[in-house]
């Protein structure tokens, strides 16, 4: 199994993580600094990532209630994929922006959100440029002269994309058009052709004619383009592609005809992954238990329900992380407090007076604050601490760090306004938010949505 290097926490990673928590958001990176209770998944998931890096493909479904940390989990897993030199793309499924039954739109969002360890979104152009560079290097290594370079690269391009061209011949055609436009110094046409290759609609007709392609990408061509993208990623040095389709449960709220099409598209994607058509792809979806088990979700399409069936009747401690579905049980008061202590220590490690941070915001105070925030949100237990961490960092730790005489037990009372709650948090609140003393453990932590 590939060993993930453990590097010391840099000031940049620490600041990025703390800044995101201060905003009440899931950090884009540095998730390993915040991970609590995910060690039981590491061995199985690392083995799956290694299998994908070796040419396999994996589909995974993550289930959890609103706020149980699904976004955190997938970004944490995406970071582990990037450490193996995977490209990563996170897509939010929605009825208006990214309907799942329109795979051409899903592909377009994938390329827009595509990132690599070296490039932020959209990394499509750097990936394509690296691929052409790798082709030229391979041709020269085989003994071609400078005069022969263009023709030999063309032959190698055709050979590498032979399988892709069976399903989506226009993918290879667009790549040739992009290369030719660059060679001719026509940057505008090259950019337009690359946009078309990324699934963008309404590309100028002149650019499409120049590249020899027609129309826009459709539902059926999207899978062929995904296959082509995987080929390019592999040949340009990336070991795989990690893709997240987040909040798939939104399918339950769309029209029945669109919902049925989307569920069938999901079934088709799963079958294609398992058939081996997409070597190097790790595909993850996230959804609520109601989506997987309810009548308006997966159970509406029997073949899809069969593919995702997983036994969750046993004790969650014995859940199988190799199964097609993973269950995120959410936080307990103890694990929530442990996470808060970890964030406090991370914050302190970058403060000018770390001992003051740890002394003033001691373990008992962290537990008290966690209980107070949970009490505001209904007193249940089990979900991740978006609001708790936001309050801990922005209201408490920042003040302790900046004001030498600030004591949260004397100078701070937890106040939660409805405007700072997500819809889910607002629904969980059993009464209108009111000031709550952070020094009183009147309630346990619960249903605090870590997902923005």
Per-residue exposure over 21-34, b if at least 16 CB sit within 10 Å of its own CB, e if not: bbebbbbeebbbbb
What's the confidence (pLDDT) of residue 146? 80
What's the confidence (pLDDT) of residue 154? 87
What's the confidence (pLDDT) of residue 448? 36
What's the confidence (pLDDT) of residue 431? 43
pTM of the predicted structure, to 2 decimals: 0.84
What's the confidence (pLDDT) of residue 34? 79
Q: What is the mean pLDDT of each run of 10 residues along the chain (452 residues)?
A: 51 90 85 80 97 98 86 93 97 93 96 96 96 90 85 88 86 93 95 97 94 92 95 94 96 93 96 96 96 96 97 92 92 85 93 94 93 72 69 95 94 80 64 42 36 41
């Amino acid at each position: 199994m590939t060993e993930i290097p453990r590097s010391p926490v840099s000031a940049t990673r620490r600041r990025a993580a703390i800044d995101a928590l201060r905003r009440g958001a899931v950090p884009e990176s540095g998730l390993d600094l915040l991970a609590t209770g995910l060690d039981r998944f590491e061995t199985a998931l690392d083995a799956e990532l290694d299998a994908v890096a070796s040419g396999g493909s994996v589909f995974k479904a993550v289930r959890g209630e609103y706020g149980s940390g699904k976004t955190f989990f997938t970004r944490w897993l995406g970071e582990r994929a990037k450490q193996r030199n995977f490209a990563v793309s996170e897509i939010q499924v929605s009825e208006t922006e990214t309907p799942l039954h329109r795979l051409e739109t899903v592909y377009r969002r994938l390329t827009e959100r595509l990132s690599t360890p070296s490039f932020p979104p959209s990394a499509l152009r750097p990936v394509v440029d690296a691929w052409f560079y790798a082709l030229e290097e391979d041709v020269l290594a085989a003994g071609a002269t400078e005069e022969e370079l263009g023709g030999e690269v063309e032959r190698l391009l055709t050979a590498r994309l032979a399988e892709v061209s069976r399903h989506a011949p226009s993918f290879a055609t667009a790549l040739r058009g992009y290369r030719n436009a660059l060679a001719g110094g026509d940057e505008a046409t090259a950019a337009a052709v690359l946009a078309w290759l990324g699934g963008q609609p309404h590309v100028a007709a002149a650019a499409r004619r120049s590249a020899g392609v027609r129309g826009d990408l459709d539902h059926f061509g999207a899978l062929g383009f995904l296959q082509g993208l995987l080929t390019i990623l592999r040949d340009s040095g990336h070991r795989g592609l990690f893709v997240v389709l987040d909040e798939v449960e939104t399918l339950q709220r769309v029209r029945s005809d669109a919902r049925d099409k989307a569920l069938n598209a999901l079934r088709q994607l799963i079958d294609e992954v398992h058939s081996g058509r997409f070597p190097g792809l790790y595909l993850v979806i996230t959804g609520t238990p109601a989506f997987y088990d309810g009548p308006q979700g997966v159970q509406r399409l029997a073949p899809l329900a069969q593919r995702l069936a997983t036994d969750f009747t046993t004790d969650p401690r014995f859940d199988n992380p190799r199964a097609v579905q993973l269950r995120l049980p959410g936080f307990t008061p103890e694990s929530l407090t442990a996470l808060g202590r970890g964030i406090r220590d991370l914050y302190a490690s970058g403060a000018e007076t770390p001992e003051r941070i740890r002394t003033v915001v001691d373990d008992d105070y962290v537990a008290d604050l966690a209980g107070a925030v949970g009490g505001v949100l209904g007193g249940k237990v089990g979900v991740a601490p978006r609001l708790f961490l936001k309050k801990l960092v922005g209201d408490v730790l920042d003040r302790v760090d900046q004001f030498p005489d600030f004591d949260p037990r004397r100078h701070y009372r937890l106040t939660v306004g409805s405007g700072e709650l997500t819809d889910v948090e607002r629904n969980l609140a059993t009464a209108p938010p009111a000031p709550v003393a952070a020094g009183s453990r009147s309630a346990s932590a619960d249903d605090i949505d870590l997902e923005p």
